[in-house]
Amino acid sequence: MIEVRVPATSANVGPGFDCMGLAVTAYASFRFSETGDGLCITGCPKQWQNEQNLVYQACVQVFSKCGKEISDLTIEIDAHEVPEARGLGSSAVCIVGGVVGANALLGDPLSKEEMLALCTEMEGHPDNVAPALYGGLTISFCEGEKVFTVKNQVHERFIFCALIPDYPVLTADARSVLPKQVSFHDALYNIGRCAVLAKGLSNGDIELVSHACDDVLHQPYRKVLIPDYEEVDRLADKHQALTWYISGSGSTMMLIFDGKEKAEALMQEVLQRKPHWQTKLLRVDNDGATVNEALSVKENTHG
């Protein structure tokens, strides 16, 4: 049996629209075994316990690329920490989990770069799959079929507070509200801030992070899909968050703090106001997707 653990992700990170993403310390786990009992998938809604399951489809892509066929596969999914359609990379987590798991089952024929390209092809863009695979803060772009990504460490002083509403924002809806064209001025506004934000997060520069996380390309349009956007803005200011942004397509809103005390106070007030929301105090995961080799060796030896 192979066990893969994949971190949730927070994409865009303010001005880094479709190119920047963070891996954070909430996780989904996937167990894979070739059992001889056909396809068996557990841990997800019954409607996805079949060949339409995204984790399984990712496995199929790896087997196909390696000239192999899947005959019998059991997949156990534990993804309760990564809610669906909340802007924490739920689809990317499934794709990366399936690709990494299938690659491990086959004896690791694919390099990490090849796995990233395959994940990006399935997801459509690398901003979520790159941090899920590599960990840290990743900045990525595509050139033809090749995916270029740079991984940055994030300074340990930064605490990330995820406010997760009790309603989803579908990616298709978040895309539909975006303009077809943007001005040269708006493009320049984001380009500079994106570069500075990455440096500030790496260096622990709270002034840079406080000023560089603003965005004009997507958040002004997507905030209409989040009824509580303005209220969270006021609470972020009240509790002295350094900055905050819509995570991925939303509805999760991610606040960045210098230390955890103010973040904990904000979370307490949010849960008093919104008892059906979830809140998570997070750090950046620097490992990305990992394979539990000890489990694999133990269970393969004694199973």
CATH of residue 274: 3.30.70.890
Please give the angle made by the CA atoms of 241, 242 and 248, to the nearest 5 degrees.
85
pLDDT, residue 212, reads: 97
186 CB-near residues (< 8 Å, 6+ apart): 216, 217
Residues 112 and 208 in one domain: no
Regarding whether 276 and 189 lie in a shared domain, the answer is: yes
- Residues ≥6 apart with Cβ < 8 Å to 37: 72, 74
Q: Are residues 186 and 203 in the same domain?
A: yes
Considering the domain architecture, whether residues 148 and 179 belong to the same structural domain is answered as no
pLDDT digits (tens, 9 = 90+) for 26-74: 999 999 998 777 899 999 999 999 999 999 999 999 999 999 988 789 9
Residue 293: predicted pLDDT: 63
If asked whether residues 21 and 144 sit together in one domain, one would say yes
For residue 296, the model assigns a pLDDT of: 47
Regarding whether 148 and 290 lie in a shared domain, the answer is yes
Q: What is the pLDDT of residue 35?
A: 78
Q: How far apart are CA 119 and CA 100, in angstroms?
A: 10
Residues of the chain with pLDDT under 70: 293-303
pLDDT tens, position by position, 225-247:
999 999 999 999 999 999 999 99
Kindly state whether residues 244 and 262 are assigned to the same domain.
Answer: yes
Is 13 found in the same domain as 142? Answer: yes
In the chain, how many domains are there?
2
Are 105 and 17 contained in the same domain? yes
Element (H, E) at 199: helix 184-203
**pLDDT the model gives residue 38:** 87
Cβ(57)–Cβ(193) below 8 Å: no
Give the pLDDT score at 303.
39
Domain match, 125 and 81 both: yes
Do 292 and 148 reside in the same domain of the chain?
A: yes
Which residue, among 73, 78, 84, 33, has the nearest Cα to 50 in the 3D structure? 73
The 3-class SS string of 102-144 reads HHHHCCCCCCHHHHHHHHHHHHCCHHHHHHHHHCCEEEEEEEC
Residues 6 or more apart whose CB falls under 8 angstroms from that of 212 comprise: 14, 15, 193, 194, 196, 197, 200
For 240: left if phi > 0, alpha if psi spans -120 to 50, otherwise beta; the answer is: left
The whole domain housing 94 covers 2-152+286-302
Three-state SS annotation for 44-56 = CCHHHCCCCCHHH
Q: Is residue 172 classed as helix, strand or coil in its secondary structure?
A: helix
CB neighbours of 170 closer than 8 A, spacing ≥ 6?
85, 249
At 34 the pLDDT is 86
Shared domain check, 124 and 184? no
The C-alpha atoms of residue 16 and residue 110 are separated, in whole angstroms, by 28
Smallest CA-to-CA distance from 4 within 29, 21, 38, 27 is with 29
Cβ(284)–Cβ(25) below 8 Å: yes
- pTM reported for the whole predicted model: 0.92
Whole-angstrom distance, CA of residue 223 vs CA of residue 220? 6
